[in-house]
Chain A
């Protein structure tokens, strides 16, 4: 089972789309209300680790300035791992026990 940070990073990668740059993924994580969920270093390191585990696919793209950049896409295994993590939260009752609710 993946950890919470890995779950957040995978979700942010899905939102960022295919061949997402770490800076774009971090912007999504950073802008999550009400406060940033993780630092850039932890997001970047987690993305590298997820790529080694096979949950993200790493590729090389050229950015607008012609620099070679690492980009990441969520693989099928990554989507399955994310589904398992989110289902586990839901199966335990999710917000029911904390008195909160999805916004």
Chain B
């Protein structure tokens, strides 16, 4: 994975820098500390830039791209078109509330759970309504 390679590269460049300084301190002329330190510094800078990007830009773009998820297949499959579109638009608007309360990953799980409940509720509602009507008539 890229993350592991970046860690390894960072460690090796740090090690290289330490070795070159150590070599210079020990008086080993064939080790050029300047090149070692400069090379390590450049690699370390590049690696830290990678981590800064991961911690800042990627987090923001992940939230943006993940929060505007693709349409739910099962909602589109199991519900009438108009209701499916309306439900997905409403869930999209409700998602920030769950993100604020629980974080992005759990919010997406809540959204999936709500989709299932909505599908069940849509098909079960007429049954419940009929039952309530019968009970009202009997009373």
Report A's interface with B, CB cutoff 8 A. Answer: 21-23, 26-27, 30-31, 39-42, 44-45, 48-49, 52-53, 63, 67-70
Contacts and interface: CB of A to CB of B under 8 A. Distances in A.
B86 A69 contact: yes
A-B complex: 8 closest residue pairs judged by Cβ atoms:
A41-B117, A45-B121, A23-B93, A23-B90, A41-B118, A41-B114, A22-B90, A40-B114
Given A30-B97, A39-B114, A68-B82, A44 B125 contact: no
B113 to A, nearest CB: 8
A23 B94 contact: yes
Nearest to B88: A67
A70 B94 contact: no
Given A26-B90, A41-B118, A68-B82, 16 more contacts: A21-B90, A31-B97, A39-B117, A40-B90, A40-B114, A42-B117, A44-B90, A44-B121, A45-B118, A48-B125, A49-B125, A52-B129, A63-B89, A68-B85, A68-B86, A69-B86
B128 A49 contact: yes
A40 B86 contact: no
A27 B128 contact: no
Contacts of A22: 86, 90
Contacts of A67: 85, 89
A48 B97 CA distance: 22
A85 B93 CA distance: 30
Nearest to B126: A52
A21 B94 CA distance: 11
A44 B129 contact: no
B125 A45 contact: yes
Given A40-B114, A42-B121, A45-B118, A70 B91 contact: no
Interface in B90-104: 90-91, 93-94, 97
B117 A69 contact: no
A44 B89 contact: no
Contacts of B90: 21-23, 26, 40, 44, 69
Contacts of A49: 125, 128-129
Interface in B74-132: 82-83, 85-87, 89-91, 93-94, 97, 114, 117-118, 121-122, 125, 128-129
